[in-house]
Amino acid sequence: MKPPVLNFSTLQAAVEVAATLAFALSGLLAGARKQLDVVGLCVVAGLSAFGGGTLRDVLLDRRPFFWVEHADWLWGLMALCFAAMLFLRGRHLALTERAIQWPDALGLGLFTANGALLALDLGMPAIVAVLMGVITATFGGVLRDIVCNEIPAAFHDHRPYALCSFVGAWVLVAAVRLDAPQWAAISAAAGTAVALRGLALWTGWTLPAWRIDARR
């Protein structure tokens, strides 16, 4: 019996599942820090996991939306929220901001690769594919922070976030142009974005902030 072929649909679904779980986890941790109830946790986790991909599908006029096409993911998300609430309540874990940043970094890389590759598969120009990767990777986290009544971390902590996604998406475009296997292109793009974000978190590297001279 031959093993299943790793085609584009299978690879895309696997990457989307992994990215969705990573962002859902970051949303759960953010909601738990705000002491939300189970409904609030489900909403925040759902926005984190599905927000960027939904906006991507809207802009690309892609139907059905990816979470409608895979409706079982919704059940999985709700089960994850209930399980996380029971687990976190029973162990009184310290939910620091850093605990949220690492699953968020993983989701950033995976959604960057997935969004850009999907746009290229639909025949979009390279710059559009890159922007779709960035939107897919960042918009869920922005919605998560807004609902949690915080300025989105992507805008205020000055550490590279969207920039990491932007670079990772160009790595994917370059790999596709060089006819690299899709698994290699995805791995290179996701790995680049995650590594850059992890490096920024580890070293405290920040981008220049806009400053206004108060004396003027």
Q: Which of 118, 7, 18, 1 is nearest to 65 (CA)?
A: 118
pLDDT mean over 181-198: 90
Which CA distances in Å does 67 have to 27, 72, 117, 164? Answer: 17, 8, 18, 25
Residue 7 has pLDDT above 60, yes or no: no
Q: Is residue 209 part of a domain?
A: no
Residue 97 has pLDDT above 50, yes or no: yes
Domain with 33 in it:
8-203
Count of residues making up the chain: 216
Q: Is residue 111 part of a domain?
A: yes
How many structural domains comprise the chain? Answer: 1
Q: Which of 14, 3, 15, 85 is nearest to 44 (CA)?
A: 85
CA–CA distance, 144 with 65 (Å, rounded to integer): 19
Which CA distances in Å does 74 have to 19, 146, 184, 189, 204? Answer: 14, 22, 29, 27, 36
Residue 168 binned pLDDT confidence (cut-offs 50, 70, 90): very high
Q: What are phi and psi of 161, to 5 degrees?
A: -135, -70
Q: pTM for the complete prediction?
A: 0.79
Q: Is residue 1 part of a domain?
A: no
Query: Each residue of 113-165: pLDDT tens digit?
Result: 989 998 998 899 999 999 999 999 999 888 888 888 888 877 777 778 889 99
Q: Is residue 208 part of a domain?
A: no
Q: Is residue 120 part of a domain?
A: yes
